[in-house]
Amino acid sequence: MAARTPFAFTYAGWTITTPPPAVPGMRKFAPSPTAPMRIRSADGAWLPSQTVTPTHPVSQHVRAHVDASDDAEFWLLTAPDGSSVPLRFTLDLSALPAASKCDVAMTLNLAACAPAPPMFSITVNGRALKIYYPTEASWAAQHVFIPADFLQRGANQIVVTPLGRYYGIWLQSVQFASRSVPISIGVQWLQICAGELDRGEAIDQSVRLTHGTPMTDSQIRAFAKQFDIDVEGSGIESLLAALSTHLAARFSFDERTGGSVPIERDTTAIYALKIARRARDDEPLTFQVWQLALVYEANGCQLVHALGPHGPIVFQQFPPRV
C-alpha cells in the first residue's frame, strides 16, 4: 500500500484502522505475527452474571417462581400466619455450552426481620446444600456456593426455604454467576510471504493463504478450559462450535454475520503471487505480504483465527510507494 494511504477494514461491525507494519528497510523484514491489537474486552464467564428481583423475576437463564408474598421492593419468605414460604428458582443451563465442571455462585441480598435469628436452607435439584443463618437486620449479601455436581444440563430447581415459624426473611434480589473470566478480542497481522526483487526481476509463485485456527487440539482445549467448556467424545469440531457460540454471546457482532464469527479448523488455499519490477527502477525492492487474524485471549491463553480471503491482503514494500 502507498505510504500515505489510510487503512480501514470493517469486519463483524468493527472497523480496523491499523495497517500491517511497514518494511523497515532494504533486506529487512518486520516480525510476524504482530502483537495483538485489542478491540474489545468482556467477561467470558460460562454463566454470565444475572440478577432477578420481585419486579424483574426473569433473566436470560433464571426464572423466579413467586410462591413468596410479592412486594415491589422485596420478597417476604414468611406467610401471615408465620409459616415458611419457599422461593423457587429455575436455572436453565440448556442453552450454554457443555461444561466439564462449573460451580455457580448464588448471592442473596437479604435482611432478617424476626425477633429471633432466622435461618434458611437451600436445595438444588432436591439435594440440600446447608443451613444458613443471616444475622443482619439491614440489607446484606449472603453468598452461596453451588458445586458443579449439584447441577445438570437443562432446568435446575433451586429452592430457598425459611426454617421455623416467625423467622422472617426479606429478600431483595438474587444473583447467579459462574467465576469471572476476563477475555479480550483483538487483531494481529500474519505474514503470508516476503522477499526481495532486483531491478527488472519478476516473481511468479504460489502462496498459501490460511482461513481458520491453526492451533493444535491441545491448545484449543486449553483455551476452552478457561471457560469450563468441554465437549467430551464429540471431537474438536464440536468444541470449536461451542466456543464460537460462547464467544459470540460475549461480544457484539454485526447482525449480517448471523450473530457469530464461526471458529473453524484452518484450511489453506493456494493463490498466485505475481510481481514484476520495471527495468528502469533503480533500487532493489524488499516486500512483505500480510493477512489479518482475530485473536481471543483469556488468562494468558490465546485462540487465533485467520480471516484468510475473508479479510484484507496487504502488500508492503521498501522503498514505499508514494
Dist CA 74 CA 112 (whole Å): 12
Mean pLDDT, residues 148-168 taken together: 85
pLDDT computed for residue 258 by the predictor: 45
pLDDT computed for residue 128 by the predictor: 95
* DSSP output for 204-268: EEEEEEEEBB---HHHHHHHHHTTTB--TTSHHHHHHHHHHHHHHHHS---GGGTT-----B-EE
Cell of 317: 514494500
pLDDT computed for residue 79 by the predictor: 63
Res 305 pLDDT > 70: yes
Mean pLDDT, residues 165-194 taken together: 89
Mean pLDDT, residues 208-217 taken together: 92
Per-range mean pLDDT, top range of 97-111, 199-213, 297-311: 297-311
Res 83 pLDDT > 80: no
Predicted confidence (pLDDT) per residue in 256-280, tens digit: 444 457 889 999 888 888 887 766 6
For the chain, the structural domain boundaries read 9-43+182-318, 50-177
Instruction: With beta carbons less than 8 A apart as the criterion, state whether 309 and 11 touch.
Output: no
The SS3 call for residue 308 is helix
Dist CA 96 CA 250 (whole Å): 12
pLDDT computed for residue 257 by the predictor: 47
The closest of 169, 175, 53 to 111, measured between CA atoms, is 169
The SS3 call for residue 7 is coil
Predicted confidence (pLDDT) per residue in 245-261, tens digit: 888 888 866 544 444 57
How many Cα atoms sit within 13 Å of 201 on the Cβ side? Answer: 11
pLDDT computed for residue 315 by the predictor: 93
Predicted confidence (pLDDT) per residue in 100-127, tens digit: 678 999 999 988 776 656 788 999 999 9
pLDDT computed for residue 274 by the predictor: 84
Query: Chain-wide mean pLDDT for the chain?
Result: 85
In the chain the first and final C-alpha atoms are separated, in Å, by 9
The SS3 call for residue 145 is strand
Write out the E strands in 66-133.
Answer: 69-70, 75-76, 87-92, 104-112, 120-124, 127-132
50-177: in CATH 2.60.120.260: yes
pLDDT computed for residue 137 by the predictor: 66
Mean pLDDT, residues 213-229 taken together: 91
Res 292 pLDDT > 80: yes
User: In this predicted model, which residue has the larger pLDDT, 281 or 303?
Assistant: 303
Mean pLDDT, residues 138-165 taken together: 89
Dist CA 198 CA 75 (whole Å): 80
Res 135 pLDDT > 90: no
Res 4 pLDDT > 70: no
Question: Residues with Cβ < 8 Å from 85, sequence gap 6 or more?
Answer: 67, 68, 69, 76, 77, 78, 79, 162
Q: Is the peptide bond before 319 cis (omega within 30 degrees of 0)?
A: yes
Cell of 268: 489453506
User: In this predicted model, which residue has the larger pLDDT, 184 or 5?
Assistant: 184
User: Which pLDDT band holds residue 72 (cuts at 50, 70, 90)?
Assistant: low
Q: Is the peptide bond before 182 cis (omega within 30 degrees of 0)?
A: no
